[in-house]
């Protein structure tokens, strides 16, 4: 997979930036306000079907933190690990939309309608992915996922289309801004030293990737459910019991 190749790491390290989503305070990383809504898999602490892989990712996240250091890497709480199925609205766009009375309720109801339209393709069969290695983004570090089940993968894409092509959601400002690149974010970049050796850092990322391949052979991840969730920051994703879910 191209995202885990050494050449990709060498390119990405030239564009790393400190993330505004966490701030360092008294030796701790504190999530900054970043509100919005999303459709995700059940977060780590609530996903009974992926307990083993989440435990592996927790250990791997710790290795990344030890390697990069406390100042450079802001780990997210393992209980909030997840795969994003469809970003909806966040931060400034959400705060602006939320000024309209009833926005949150309309968003919730219209996402639920999109889920209902997809009900005929719900088979009860979870979609198998493999965690294939380290993924470096401009402001974050993740692991990327891949699947060989093309038909099952298409079910995820159809669910996304049912959301982004829903005229009632488009009407209230929901639009697709990213392609579906399945990944699980492990943390965000903190402070970047002006003396940062980016060539050496790219080698470090490749070494961490190889460590995943060699030391974590049980890498299955199952996408079985998509859930409508609210977040106030990048460390906590909440839902009420009556909010929409979709069973793949």
Residues contacting 127, CB < 8 A, separation 6+: 147, 149, 152, 153, 155, 156, 222, 223, 224, 248
pLDDT value of residue 5: 86
Q: What is the pLDDT of residue 2?
A: 83
pLDDT at 146: 96
Q: Where are the alpha helices (DSSP H) in 3-130?
A: 6-12, 51-68, 91-97, 103-117
Report DSSP letters for 153-199, one per residue: HHHHHHHHHHHHT-HHHHHTT----S----EEEEEEE----TT--HH
Instruction: Domain count for the chain, please give it.
Output: 1
The span from the CA of 232 to the CA of 235, in Å, is: 8
- pLDDT of 1 > 80? The answer is no
CATH number at residue 76: 3.90.1140.10
What residues form DSSP beta bridges with 28? 25
Say whether 115 sits in a helix, a strand or coil: helix
Q: What is the pTM of this model?
A: 0.96
Task: Express each pLDDT in 12-60 by its tens digit.
Answer: 999 999 999 999 999 999 999 999 999 999 999 899 999 999 999 999 9
Which residues form the domain of 182? Answer: 2-247
What rounded mean pLDDT belongs to the chain?
96
Q: Crossing angle for the helix pair 150-164 and 103-117, nearest 10 degrees?
A: 140
Calculate what percentage of the chain has a pLDDT beyond 90: 94
Work out the angle between the directed axes of helices 51-68 and 198-215 (0-180°, nearest 10): 150
């Amino acid at each position: 997979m191209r995202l885990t190749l050494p050449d990709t790491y060498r390119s990405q390290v030239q564009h790393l930036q400190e993330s505004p989503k966490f701030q360092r305070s008294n030796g701790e990383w504190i999530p900054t306000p970043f509100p919005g809504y999303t459709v995700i898999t059940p977060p780590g602490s609530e996903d009974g079907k992926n307990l083993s892989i989440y435990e592996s990712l927790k250990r791997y996240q710790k290795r990344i933190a030890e390697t990069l250091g406390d100042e450079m890497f802001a780990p997210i709480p393992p209980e909030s690990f997840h795969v994003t199925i469809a970003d909806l609205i966040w931060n400034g766009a959400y705060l602006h939309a939320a000024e309209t009375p009833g926005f949150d309720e309309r968003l919730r109801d219209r996402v639920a309608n999109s889920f209902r339209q997809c009900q005929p393709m719900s088979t009860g069969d979870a979609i198998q992915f493999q965690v294939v290695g380290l993924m470096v983004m401009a402001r974050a570090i993740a692991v990327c996922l891949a699947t060989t089940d093309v038909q099952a993968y298409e079910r995820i894409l159809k669910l996304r289309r049912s959301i982004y092509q829903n005229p009632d959601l488009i009407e209230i400002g929901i639009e697709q801004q990213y392609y579906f690149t399945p990944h699980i974010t492990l943390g965000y970049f903190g402070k970047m030293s002006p003396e940062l050796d980016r060539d050496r850092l790219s080698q470090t990322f490749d070494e961490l990737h190889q460590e995943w391949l060699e030391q974590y052979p049980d890498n299955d991840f199952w996408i079985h459910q998509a859930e409508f969730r609210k977040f106030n920051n990048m460390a906590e994703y909440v839902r009420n019991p009556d909010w929409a879910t979709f069973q793949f």
